[in-house]
């Protein structure tokens, strides 16, 4: 009988040990996660967009006269100043035209002087009735005709000199000149052949579009002062940002896209912004005071909306539905669902389930 009782005790002990081991094996290990604290701070109210840099002023250089390009006074890509000589068209045909116009003017002036003297003489004769009125009118008509001829000669001479000046092409603006499209030795057609392009890049514009729903907020912010605008240039090692101001809002909404075009001006003294470049544009409309802020990567999306994992005091995870607000950079504001100082998971959410134990990693 004692042996039988001992056998039963042994079996019970064995079963208890087996159950204890199996329960320990079924309990999952804690999930390693990275956490942070929700904080309260003032955040900027911003609108982001993709912008395209364009020159403040762009001039296509063409010749106003026809001839052979004989000289250039710059290198491709040079900085040029307003009034700097850039190109020379062969001036010899135009110099000859000027000399011919000057000669014609001198000839007709001499004839005009003779006709003037003749008219003065006939003035006295017609008063004394020594010549007929018809002879006098003929002399006066000749004088008036030569007077008009001289004026026409002066206009022709001025135009010839103007055409000669067009042989020398000067820069109309300060800027950076691009590739040379026509090299010396080639013939240039008047007002047709594009020789080069000059872009003014100091200052410079950035053109971008925003949804029409944002137009009211933008105009309201501009009515209170200059609207701060930031252009961010993505770099290999770092991002470069420049501050400017909105100077133009289009007078109509694009019905095809539901957006409105804006233009911002940047000083660009260091020439970071370049025509044709794509940049990120950030408009700051104001500041939201005492907002609850978390990293944007902590947000998860489920069937009921967006949520975050909150780590409770017993080191277990809890799903918390939240209502996100403004996003700025890598952070986002939370309108509902979180309080300041709560511990939220920012990395390791994929392995979490509600009630799972967590192991906080640095």
| In a shared domain, residues 218 and 271 | yes
Q: Determine the Cα–Cα distance for residues 114 and 143; give it in Å rounded to an integer.
A: 9
Q: Within a domain: residue 111?
A: yes
Q: What angle do CA 10, 14, 17 make, to 5 degrees?
A: 140
Give the domain CATH number at 252. Answer: 2.40.30.170
**What pLDDT score was predicted for residue 2?**
54
**What pLDDT score was predicted for residue 26?**
58
| In a shared domain, residues 276 and 333 | no
Give the domain CATH number at 353. Answer: 2.40.420.20
Q: Determine the Cα–Cα distance for residues 99 and 105; give it in Å rounded to an integer.
A: 10
Beta-bridged to residue 72, according to DSSP, are 87
Q: Within a domain: residue 130?
A: yes
Beta strands in 212-322 (DSSP E): 228-233, 240-249, 259-266, 278-295, 300-302, 305-311, 317-321
Q: Determine the Cα–Cα distance for residues 28 and 44; give it in Å rounded to an integer.
A: 43
Q: Determine the Cα–Cα distance for residues 361 and 38; give it in Å rounded to an integer.
A: 17
Beta-bridged to residue 332, according to DSSP, are 294, 327
Q: Give the total number of structural domains in the chain.
A: 3
Determine the average pLDDT of the residues in 182-200.
93
Stretch (H or E) spanning 146: helix 133-165
pLDDT over threshold 60, residue 5: no
* 110-153: pLDDT as tens digits: 999 988 888 888 777 877 777 777 887 888 898 899 999 999 99
Determine the average pLDDT of the residues in 195-206.
95
**Which pTM value belongs to this model?**
0.69
Whole-Å CA distances, 345 to 102, 311, 312:
90, 7, 11
Q: Within a domain: residue 26?
A: no
* 72-92: pLDDT as tens digits: 999 999 999 999 999 999 999
* 288-341: pLDDT as tens digits: 888 899 999 988 888 888 999 999 888 888 899 998 888 877 888 888 888 888
Q: State the residue range of the domain holding 133.
A: 91-165
The rounded mean pLDDT for the chain is 87
Q: Within a domain: residue 254?
A: yes
Provide the pLDDT confidence category of residue 240 given band limits of 50, 70 and 90: confident
Structure tokens at 243: 């501050």
């Amino acid at each position: 009988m004692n042996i039988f009782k001992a056998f039963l005790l042994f079996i019970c002990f064995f079963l208890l040990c087996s159950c204890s081991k199996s329960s320990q094996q079924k309990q999952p290990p804690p999930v390693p996660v990275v956490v942070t604290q929700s904080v309260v701070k003032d955040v900027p109210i911003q609108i982001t967009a993709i912008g395209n840099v364009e020159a403040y002023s762009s001039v296509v250089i063409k010749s106003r006269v026809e001839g052979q390009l004989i000289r250039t006074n710059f290198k491709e890509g040079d900085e040029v100043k307003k009034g700097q000589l850039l190109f020379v068209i062969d001036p010899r045909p135009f110099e000859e035209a000027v000399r011919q116009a000057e000669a014609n003017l001198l000839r007709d002036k001499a004839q005009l002087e003779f006709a003037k003297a003749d008219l003065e003489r006939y003035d006295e004769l017609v008063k004394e009735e020594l010549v007929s009125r018809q002879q006098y009118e003929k002399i006066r008509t000749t004088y008036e005709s030569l007077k008009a001829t001289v004026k026409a000669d002066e206009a022709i001479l001025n135009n010839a000199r103007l055409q000669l000046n067009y042989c020398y092409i000067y820069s109309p603006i300060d800027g950076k000149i691009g590739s040379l499209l026509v090299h010396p030795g080639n013939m240039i057609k008047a007002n047709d052949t594009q020789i080069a392009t000059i872009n003014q890049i100091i200052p410079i514009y950035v053109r971008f579009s925003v949804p029409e729903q944002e137009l009211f907020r933008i105009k309201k912010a501009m009515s209170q002062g200059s609207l701060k605008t930031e252009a961010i240039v993505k770099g290999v090692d770092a991002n470069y940002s420049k501050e400017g101001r909105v100077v133009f809002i289009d007078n109509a909404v694009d019905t095809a896209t539901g957006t409105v075009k804006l233009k911002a001006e940047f000083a660009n003294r260091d020439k970071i912004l370049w025509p044709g470049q794509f940049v990120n544009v950030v408009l700051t409309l104001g500041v939201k005071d005492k907002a609850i802020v978390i990293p944007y990567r902590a947000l998860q999306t489920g069937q009921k909306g967006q949520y975050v994992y909150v780590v409770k005091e017993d080191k277990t995870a809890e799903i918390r539905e939240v209502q996100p607000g403004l996003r700025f950079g890598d952070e986002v504001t939370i309108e509902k669902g979180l309080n300041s100082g709560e511990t939220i998971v920012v990395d390791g959410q994929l392995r979490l389930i509600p009630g799972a134990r967590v192991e906080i990693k640095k």
